[in-house]
């Protein structure tokens, strides 16, 4: 009789030990990303609020990259981009508009690395598990944060208001608008004034819809192909 592979021991004590580990891996990242987003929306538009919001976002990004087990090359890219974001952010305190724009673009670049790292981890195994579902939620949340950072950078570099009828906008406005657009809710209380902002809104809405449709189709397809005992149906 062949020994049972460790991966197949998902029931009983082995399954009970593995479940908390799976939840911890990306469940904590989802919690950290959600905390960063909510704080960014609810925090007052002050220097300390932006500072804490940035720290929470960096902590969530670091946790996501560590959970995904990034390669040395990707980790090196993350360190370089993070250093650029930090140095540009410091330079922005001295009144450099373009330095602030570079810092915001670098922050958006860091966010891009999160879905890249997660997809690199799951590219060989697209089966639906609790781990893959929480990882997919991480990517969805990162999409919203990415477009918020990108919108802020566009407004800063252009030196023009991003929204119609609103002279200045803070991280709360950008995050709120980004996730409303990503979910294609469209309340209409914020409307992009810049051409680049409108193009980004269209792209984000399309990405939000396509991502949800793709993920739901993948989940349904994998669940439909499973037998009650959890094995795959070969037919």
* In the chain, where the domains are located: 25-224
Q: Cβ neighbours of residue 75 under 8 Å, at least 6 residues apart?
A: 65
Distance CA 99, CA 105 (A): 10
- DSSP line for 86-138: HHHHHHHTTT-HHHHHHHHHHHHHHHHHHHHHHHHHHTT-----HHHHHHHHH
CATH fold of 25-224: Helix Hairpins (1.10.287)
In degrees to the nearest 10, what's the CA dihedral of 108, 111, 116, 119? -140
With 0-12 CB in 10 A as exposed, 13-18 as middle and 19+ as buried, what is 84? middle
pTM for the model: 0.78
Indicate if the alpha-carbon torsion angle 148, 212, 114, 72 is positive or negative.
negative
In degrees and rounded to multiples of 5, residue 234 shows phi and psi of -75, -20
Q: Of 64, 235, 40, 217, which Cα lies nearest the Cα of 145? A: 40
Q: How many of the other CB atoms lie within 10 Å of CB of 96?
A: 14
Residue corresponding to tokens 């949340």: 141
pLDDT tens per residue across all 235 residues of the chain: 444 444 444 444 444 444 444 445 788 888 989 998 998 888 877 667 777 777 888 888 888 887 777 677 777 777 777 777 777 666 666 666 677 778 888 888 888 888 888 887 777 666 667 777 788 888 999 999 999 999 988 988 888 889 998 888 888 899 999 999 999 888 888 999 999 999 999 999 999 989 888 876 776 666 555 545 555 554 4
Q: What is the pLDDT of residues 79-137, one digit of tens each?
A: 777 777 777 666 666 666 677 778 888 888 888 888 888 887 777 666 667 777 788 88
């Amino acid at each position: 009789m062949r020994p049972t592979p460790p991966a197949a021991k998902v029931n009983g004590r082995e399954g009970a030990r593995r479940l908390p580990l799976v939840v911890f891996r990306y469940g904590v990242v989802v919690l950290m990303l959600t905390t960063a987003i909510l704080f960014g929306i609810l925090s007052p538009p002050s220097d300390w609020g932006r500072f804490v919001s940035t720290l929470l976002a960096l902590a969530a990004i670091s946790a996501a990259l560590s959970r995904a087990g990034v390669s040395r090359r990707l980790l090196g890219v993350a360190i370089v981009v993070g250093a650029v974001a930090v140095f540009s952010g410091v330079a922005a305190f001295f009144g450099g508009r373009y330095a602030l724009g570079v810092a915001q673009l670098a922050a958006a670049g860091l966010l891009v690395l999160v879905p890249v790292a997660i997809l690199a981890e799951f590219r060989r195994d697209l089966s639906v598990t609790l781990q893959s579902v929480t990882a997919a939620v991480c990517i969805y949340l990162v999409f919203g944060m990415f477009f918020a950072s990108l919108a802020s950078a566009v407004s800063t570099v252009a030196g023009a208001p991003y929204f119609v009828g609103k002279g200045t906008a803070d991280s709360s406005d950008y995050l709120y608008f980004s996730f409303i657009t990503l979910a294609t809710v469209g309340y209409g209380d914020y409307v992009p004034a810049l051409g680049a902002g409108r193009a980004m809104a269209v792209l984000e809405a399309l990405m939000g819809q396509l991502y949800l449709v793709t993920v739901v189709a993948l989940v349904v397809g994998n669940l439909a192909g499973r037998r009650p005992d959890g094995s795959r149906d070969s037919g």
